Amino acid sequence: MYTKGSDLIKIAKEKNKRICDVVLDYESERTGKSKKEIFEQMRSVLKVMIDSANRGLEKEVISISGLIGGNAKKVEDYVKNKKTISGNIINKAMARALSVSEVNASMGKIVAAPTAGSAGILPAVIITAAEVLNKNEDEMVEALFTASGIGQIIAKNATVSGAEGGCQAECGSAAAMAAAAVVEMAGGTPEQALHAAAIAIQNILGLVCDPVAGLVEAPCYLRNSSGAVNALTSADLALAGIKSIIPFDEVVDAMYKVGKSLPFELRETALGGIAATPTGQKFMKEIFGE
Amino acid sequence: MKLYGVFDILGPVMIGPSSSHTAGAARLGKVASKIAGDDFYKVEFYLHGSFAKTYKGHGTDRALVAGVLGMDPDDERLRNSLEIAKEKGIEVIFIPTDLGDQHPNTVKFVFYKKDGKNVEVMGSSIGGGNILITEIEGEKVEFTGEYPTIIAKYNDRKGMLADISKFILEKDINIANMKVTRNLQMITTAIIELDAKVDDEMVEKIRNIKDMLNVIVINPV
Ligand code: SF4
């Protein structure tokens, strides 16, 4: 069993396996279910992810409150019609992350990964990386096991809840999970995968949770798009050979401590950050009355 | 402590936007309606805390109604549940209120049944789509709906639990948790959480036990 990133690397090395295999092995051992059954259940998770990442590209999806919507389509059209600054891969990933956020906010079907608020990051990153690297569906499912392993360790040693640890715990964890998954998908080592995860968390350490009107809409949709970019670039840095000078496990501990020390106002209460701005307050009144 | 399962991390598969305000609310509605039985024509929802403040923006109202109509948290009809309830002739009323010292995401359901009875159920959405049922007909209970659950009501007498457990054992099912309470009228409520799904034959046998008043079965949603 593993409870730390260092365990994951140790087991992977001893058994000469990838993180995704170690995670699948343990899930089978833990639940008594066959690996095949678990793998197929994960495939159905992937399918929901793909649907939710595509829906907003095809047509405008608007949130229930009307606060956000149609942004995934805007980016998709922009990629098709204009020369982008940061390139089509980055833009595609952002569009997909926005799509999942919009589907979520419009009461569509999504997979919490690890939460509903941060649900866009992992699908966007896995789908986009698979496109670039020419990977098939099975390889995408494998990547979801890598991501789960990172998520399990963060949830055990820290938190993935915005109310507890701020947005760094939601969108930061999602980006770390996605970054590690892409590294393995691209053929990187377990060490490189954990470096990528550690880098992704450090990039957004301290990020607060400040949803406007208390709704999982804004700034959540933007943080899904930036979280996807964070994951992709962190994966690239790790694959290029950059190491996080602080080990993954210590970064996770730091994230937890930072989360605990965030004031109550900056942990999902909608009392601080952009939620507390005059315009944020105005939206709150418009949606809920006094 | 054990590690979270991979589908706790990548999951639940749900209708957005919030696992506690939407997915949990749908599960609460579904479990509550199983307790009430399905012959109701009107449901009142007393919303407490964060549920009272933000139920519209999070679609908690739609999720609760979807649940009482029997939908699962990942049912895509969830967002249209208010319209579906109307078509079915079920009246739904939302009442923001203060239920006292409760979890911030708490709702009390009152089901109005065709036979003239009302059934009250209270529960909370405690995070990540998980729920806790805390009160049935004014009596304190505590179960999560994660396990197949039997709620048995009977006139208190010796050996009753032994009789019930016998039929559970017959099916080779393990009891995970059990809680028994008795009210002033000497009516006992036993809440029995099991490790495996409940089948009809077993329930029938338990229903036919002498002094049994009512048996409700809730399989996980
Ligand atoms: S801002 Fe808060 S609610 Fe929005 S995604 Fe981040 S943690 Fe979740």
CB contact under 8 Å between B76 and A109, yes or no, is yes
- Closest residue in B to A113 (Cα) is B10
Kindly state the percentage of chain B with pLDDT values over 70: 99
Looking at the predicted structure, is the pLDDT value of residue A57 above 60?
Answer: yes
Looking at the predicted structure, is the pLDDT value of residue B43 above 70?
Answer: yes
For strand B130-136 and strand B139-143, is the pairing parallel, antiparallel, or unpaired?
antiparallel
A vs B: CB pairs below 8 A:
132
Kindly state the percentage of chain A with pLDDT values over 90: 94
Write down the pLDDT at residue A288: 84
- Mean pLDDT, chain B, rounded, equals 92
Distance from CA of B96 to the nearest CA of A (A): 13
- Mean pLDDT, chain A, rounded, equals 96
Looking at the predicted structure, is the pLDDT value of residue B64 above 50?
Answer: yes
B75, B81, B84, B86 alpha-carbon torsion, rounded to 10°:
160
CA-nearest residue for atom 3, ligand 1, is A216
Write down the pLDDT at residue B2: 56
Looking at the predicted structure, is the pLDDT value of residue B151 above 90?
Answer: yes
- Check if the beta carbon of residue B181 is closer than 8 Å to that of residue B140: yes
B130 or A53: which leads in pLDDT: A53
Write down the pLDDT at residue B50: 86
CB contact under 8 Å between A116 and B53, yes or no, is no
Cα-to-centroid distance, A186 and ligand 1 (Å) = 29
Write down the pLDDT at residue A189: 98
Q: Of the candidates A161, A159, A150, which has an alpha carbon nearest to the alpha carbon of residue A196?
A: A150
**CATH numbers and ranges of domains, chain B:** 19-143 (3.30.1330.90), 149-218 (3.30.70.260)
How does pLDDT run across A71-104, given as a tens digit for each residue? 999 999 999 999 999 999 999 999 999 999 999 9
Q: Is A281 exposed, middle or buried (0-12, 13-18, 19+ CB in 10 A)?
A: middle
Write down the pLDDT at residue B162: 93
- A28: pLDDT confidence band, cut at 50, 70 and 90? very high
- B169: pLDDT confidence band, cut at 50, 70 and 90? very high
- The SS3 call for residue B192 is strand
Q: Which of B19, B54, B59 lies at the smallest CB-CB distance from A112?
A: B19
Residue range B145-171: mean pLDDT, rounded:
93
Write down the pLDDT at residue A255: 98
Chain A residues whose beta carbon lies within 8 Å of the beta carbon of residue B57: 64-65, 213-215, 287-288
CB contact under 8 Å between A111 and B76, yes or no, is no
> Hey, what amino acid is at A222?
L
CB contact under 8 Å between B6 and A116, yes or no, is no
Write down the pLDDT at residue B184: 87
Distance from CA of A275 to the nearest CA of B (A): 15
> Hey, what amino acid is at B73?
P
How does pLDDT run across A216-264, given as a tens digit for each residue? 999 999 999 999 999 999 999 999 999 999 999 999 999 999 999 999 9
Q: From CA A21, how far away is CA A219, in angstroms rounded?
A: 35
Q: Which of A30, A148, A214 lies at the smallest CB-CB distance from B10?
A: A148
For strand A109-111 and strand B13-15, is the pairing parallel, antiparallel, or unpaired?
antiparallel
Looking at the predicted structure, is the pLDDT value of residue A290 above 70?
Answer: no
Write down the pLDDT at residue B1: 46
Q: From CA B133, how far away is CA B147, in angstroms rounded?
A: 13
A39 or B128: which leads in pLDDT: A39
Cα-to-centroid distance, A148 and ligand 1 (Å) = 20
Interface predicted TM-score (ipTM) of this complex, two decimals: 0.96
Residue range B62-74: mean pLDDT, rounded:
96
- B128: pLDDT confidence band, cut at 50, 70 and 90? confident
Q: Of the candidates A175, A233, A180, A184, which has an alpha carbon nearest to the alpha carbon of residue A205?
A: A175
- Check if the beta carbon of residue A61 is closer than 8 Å to that of residue A102: yes
Q: From CA B199, how far away is CA B32, in angstroms rounded?
A: 20
Write down the pLDDT at residue B54: 84
CA-nearest residue for atom 1, ligand 1, is A209
- A146: pLDDT confidence band, cut at 50, 70 and 90? very high
**CATH numbers and ranges of domains, chain A:** 5-288 (1.10.4100)
Q: From CA A82, how far away is CA A90, in angstroms rounded?
A: 14
Q: Is B150 exposed, middle or buried (0-12, 13-18, 19+ CB in 10 A)?
A: buried
Residue range B45-64: mean pLDDT, rounded:
91
Write down the pLDDT at residue A20: 98
CA-nearest residue for atom 8, ligand 1, is A117
